[in-house]
Amino acid sequence: MRVLVACEYSGTVRDAFIRAGHYAASCDLLPSDSPLGDHYQGDVTNILDHGWDLMIAHPPCTYLCSSGLHWNKRRPERARQTEEALDFVRLLLGAPIPRICLENPIGCISTRILPPDQIVQPWQYGHDASKATCLWLVGLPLLQPTNVLPGGKTARRANQTASGQNKLPPSADRWKIRSETYSGIADAMAQQWSNV
């Protein structure tokens, strides 16, 4: 397959599909952190019509996730940026690609566009971490858990504080670290969606 991984700088998902035997390219405004595969540094809208069989899209969540939406009432420019982010999500979901997975944290995509097809957690794919991730699927089956860790949803995970918040301290690149896809989820996508 020809696989486009949109809005990915890390190469995690792209490289999982390459290891599974596909041609995969990532695209982001940032350079890629991984030299393994092709990376288009620029606007993904320039390459959406390049004959892709599958797109995994990770649109930036800054103005979409629930944790930041409370700022929209205090800062009107953020409300405008949320609308622009929602337009970008609509554009990605409507891309001329037969199979699409759009992922994002819990946020306003669910209420403003459509509910996700499923919500996955890293602990379902072998990582001692909690990070609810919504998946909107076009032409793809639900992603099946591959390595569910004990404790399920009630367990306190290694990346959580006692109150359940993410314990990654504030830093200039916190957003970048938090946005990376867990490798177990990326591998599951590559393995399970390779034969669709």
Question: Considering the domain boundaries, does residue 91 fall inside one?
Answer: no
Question: Is 143:189 a contact under the CB 8 Å cutoff?
Answer: yes
Question: Considering the domain boundaries, does residue 185 fall inside one?
Answer: no
pTM of the model: 0.88
How far is residue 153's CA from residue 106's CA, in Å, rounded to a whole number? 16
Structure confidence by residue, pLDDT tens digits, 104-154: 998 888 999 999 999 999 999 999 988 889 999 999 999 999 999 998 888
Instruction: Please tell me the predicted confidence (pLDDT) of residue 157.
Output: 76
How far is residue 69's CA from residue 10's CA, in Å, rounded to a whole number? 26
> Which residues does 84 contact at the CB level (< 8 Å), separation at least 6?
63
Domain count, the chain: 1
Question: Considering the domain boundaries, does residue 19 fall inside one?
Answer: yes
Instruction: Please tell me the predicted confidence (pLDDT) of residue 21.
Output: 97
Instruction: Please tell me the predicted confidence (pLDDT) of residue 83.
Output: 85
Question: Considering the domain boundaries, does residue 156 fall inside one?
Answer: no
- pLDDT higher than threshold 70 for residue 23: yes
DSSP 101-126: EEEEESBTHHHHT---SEEE-GGGBT
Instruction: Please tell me the predicted confidence (pLDDT) of residue 69.
Output: 62
What is the total residue count of the chain? 196
Question: Considering the domain boundaries, does residue 11 fall inside one?
Answer: yes
Q: What is the mean pLDDT of residues 11-32?
A: 96
Question: Considering the domain boundaries, does residue 89 fall inside one?
Answer: no
Question: Considering the domain boundaries, does residue 15 fall inside one?
Answer: yes
Q: Please, what is the average pLDDT of the chain?
A: 88
Instruction: Please tell me the predicted confidence (pLDDT) of residue 49.
Output: 97
Residue 31's domain comprises 1-58
Question: Considering the domain boundaries, does residue 74 fall inside one?
Answer: no
How far is residue 36's CA from residue 14's CA, in Å, rounded to a whole number? 9
Assigned token pair, 175: 């957003």
> Which residues does 27 contact at the CB level (< 8 Å), separation at least 6?
4, 5, 6, 7, 8, 39, 40, 41, 42, 44, 47
